[in-house]
Structure 1
Amino acid sequence: MGAEYTEMEQNEKNIHTDGLLTVQQFAALIGKSPQSIYKRLNKVDNPVDNQVVNPIQPYVVVVEGQKMLKIQALSELYGMEVEQPIQPGCQPESEKLSTPFNPVEQPIQPPVDEKSSDEVAFLREQIRHQGAMIESLNKELEKEREHNREKDRQLLDTLAKLAETQAALAAGQNAEKQKALAETLIEGQQMMEEERKETPETLEADFEEEFSDETQKHGLLQRIWAVITHK
């Protein structure tokens, strides 16, 4: 790791004053292999509609037959911050190149406002408290619902027992009525049977006796009338 870090530092120190990088230097700074960079350099633009197929191509410069890359490609293609070209053999503090091994110093973030932090903590506590209240209310509501369900079950049981009692009473009353009707029918049937047992002679004797009495009554009335009329 130390040898690699030394090589990276050497690559940064070897950047030309005119802002050009060799393929090896460029590849080392972006963490790619030189072969992949050469492969991209060999791609050409689309000659039909002048569409740029290889975005790195505009940054290629040929110096004494050697392809080199402009240092601006680091920032414009890879987002690496570049301030000024680095002089060969040195790297001034005021002119630094952002690399994985030597990043540009970032501005110090301002401290968080303590008042804002307290407000955030207060709001979080309020949210937590409200959440606890909602949970408690939900539990109370569930208990009330269970209590109502129990009352409904008790009411249904009471209604069912009342219906059974009414049905039993109705059945008992019907039984009493049916019993009384049956007794009446039996009594009537017995009376009819007793009347049938009487013989025709008995009926005839009763008729003659009643007729004889009527004749006697009629004769007595005639005699009384004769006395009254002096006949």
Structure 2
Amino acid sequence: FITNGYLAELVLVFAKMDTPEDNGKFSVFIIETKKHQGYSVGNRLKKIGLKAQDTSELFFDNINLSNREILGETPGRGLYQLMADLPYERLLIADMAMGAMEGAYQLTVEYVRNRTVFGEPLINKQNTRFVLANMVATLKVARAFVDDCINKILTGSLDTETASAAKLWLAQQQNLLIDDCVQLHGGYGFMDEYLIGRMFSDARVQRIYGGTDEIMKEIISRKL
């Protein structure tokens, strides 16, 4: 299964070659979904988050492909092509986490300013201000880290370990920060009708796709 599988007209498939000269090597195949009768879409799967985005099963049955349908038209370069873009993908996820954290913080500040508890705004409570202060500190460090990674990728100097560290830490902080935001929203934060509740559900997959936390730690630890 894959994101946007239900709507996709082009699908990239990472597969092992079985030709004598390329046996065991990987290639990236470009499959036009409307061109091949052996291609079909299965169930649209139900998820706990990102519900506006489909995730669907894909099936391939006796699809014949030529070298023209290999990315770059050169067989056996799939592993290189995949690895070359992994730092970029992981930075994208870190940047998504950054935006989600900033949005959740702003949403929560607005909420606690308007929410009245025991006759006064929730933001007047010391605990509320302390929780928000921790968020500000996290956001400042996270923004500096992400901006540094963006500068590095623009100059071609973003290494795999740094990109993995950004993805690991930002995704973890996203989940922690939004959890605090939900807590400040109280019962309303647990409702799908409130954006913060949906942001909480959406955040969880950030620690899974693009490489799990455990894979990120393994990559980072190779340089220890």
Identify whether the pair has TM-score above 0.5, normalized to the shorter chain. no
Range into which the TM-score falls when normalised by the shorter chain: under 0.3
Provide TM-score, normalisation by structure 1. 0.18
Higher percent of residues as strand: 2
Structure of greater relative contact order (alpha carbons < 8 Å, 6+ residues apart): 2
Higher percent of residues as helix: 1
